[in-house]
Structure 1
Amino acid sequence: MRRFVGAAAAAGTVGAVPAQRAGASARARGHEAGPVRDLRGPGVRGPRRLRFAEGDIVVVSGLPGGGKSTLIKRAAAEGGAEGGAVDSQDTRERWERRMPGALPYAVYRPLVRVAHYWGLWRQLRSGRSVVVHDCGTQSWVRGLLAAAARRRGRALHLLLLDTSPEEALSGQAARGRGVSAYAFARHRGAVGRLLSEAEAGRPPAGCASATLLDRRSASAVTRIAFHP
């Protein structure tokens, strides 16, 4: 059973500033005061805008098909985040358009990975704010992002999409692309561990904050913004 660690964010804008655990007064004001914000549940009115400090890094994790790319394209790329967005799905789609349709993805997947991480490195090197798509299974990626944030005196924040396996599989079917049962099981294990940490009231290692979203609250987010 999910344990809600914070209050619903009813305000139109929510900032990510670590503080003490939310209390009754914070709930009455309609926003979360702690480092873990739980915006899941039918009674939660999710924020339209998630705000972070300029130069910070935001990593979006969740199951394949859970809506990570959809959120990034709507709220970070098209929504105009004051920085950049690095989405591995975009990199894959660009390579797919260049390759013969009969060529299996597995053949050129290593090239897609190299292109994705090269683009990520360039974005991190620029020092700008960035929103990053993370599958959740590669903990070293979050370690790299946390180290990059620390080097420039900024913070790493986690947006974790908590969708059911059925919702994620439906999302994969809708986009016409799925993952193997083995890979999906690995994703479920990795995301489950991240959820367990956040639901215990602490962000995963290296993260200054964690925000838990379900499909309903994620669909309400129109912009991921960075401000001085």
Structure 2
Amino acid sequence: MRRGRAPSGGPVRPGRRVPVHDLRTADESRAAVPELRYPAHDVLVASGLPGSGKTTLISRTVAPLDEEGGTVVRIDSQDMREAWERRLPGWLPYALYRPLVRCAHYAGLRRALRADASVVVHDCGALPWVRRWLAWDTRRRGRRLHMVLLDVDPGVALEGQAARGRGVSGYAFGRHRRAVRRLVAGVEAGRPPQGCASAVLLDREATSALRGISFE
């Protein structure tokens, strides 16, 4: 399966010609890509280890509107968690209301999909059933699912968790590592995750160099 390389200074449109773009810049022959562009109304999943920078990537690069003037909906479970935390007493352990946060998160995602908007979803990578649901829903609505996968060293991801003051258990982090390792291996072999029309692989340097993600 063909894999795309970064054009010099130009945007990349994943899925147009090749399904996989390995844009990691550790190989000096690869130029940094300034922008990723997707078809309007498609769904993009940002996946990677906890602490790898998914939330920062989404908030920094995703344009608020697509080129048709429609709102680009950003779905991040961290936003939902913080919204609940603002409403509840600080002494209440998150574990007690985590199921409610997750239900609210998936309900918001379902509403976004039904609205036929361009959607960007924060994905932990450890729940394949979420991507299967997204793939099924986008396919039946005549849309496509794409993935941006952050390939970040586990030590760097743990530093990212510490910097934001939130971490996951050692058991959960190990589960995430195994899931993301499988995703990276598949993309490196030229295979997008099941149900995805395209996949883009970024390392920390390529993520920092990316200036925009837009829908056209």
**Residues of 1 paired with 2:36 and 2:91: CA distance?**
41
SS of alignment partner, residue 59 of structure 1: strand
Given candidates 4, 7, 13, the residue that maps to 2:5 is 7
State the match for 1:36 in structure 2.
Answer: 20
**Counterpart residue identity of residue 115, structure 1:** A
CA RMSD of aligned residues (A): 1.5
Given candidates 155, 160, 176, the residue that maps to 2:165 is 176
State the match for 1:53 in structure 2.
Answer: 39
**Structure 1: tracts of 5 or more residues without a match:** 20-33
**Counterpart residue identity of residue 64, structure 2:** G
User: What's the CA shift for 1:95?
Assistant: 1.1
SS of alignment partner, residue 163 of structure 1: coil
**Structure 2: tracts of 5 or more residues without a match:** 67-71
**Residues of 2 paired with 1:144 and 1:169: CA distance?**
29
Residue pair 1:18, 1:208 contacting (<8 A) in 2 also: no
Given candidates 60, 64, 83, the residue that maps to 2:50 is 64
**Counterpart residue identity of residue 94, structure 2:** Y
Aligned length: 208
TM (norm. structure 1) is 0.87
State the match for 2:148 in structure 1.
Answer: 159
SS of alignment partner, residue 13 of structure 1: coil
State the match for 2:69 in structure 1.
Answer: none
**Residues of 1 paired with 2:117 and 2:201: CA distance?**
24
Residue pair 1:81, 1:224 contacting (<8 A) in 2 also: no
Residue pair 2:126, 2:176 contacting (<8 A) in 1 also: yes
Residue pair 2:25, 2:32 contacting (<8 A) in 1 also: no
TM (norm. structure 2) is 0.92
State the match for 1:137 in structure 2.
Answer: 126
User: What's the CA shift for 1:162?
Assistant: 0.3
Within 5 A, what are the aligned runs for 1:1-228?
A: 5-19=3-17, 34-42=18-26, 43=28, 44-76=30-62, 79-82=63-66, 83-227=72-216
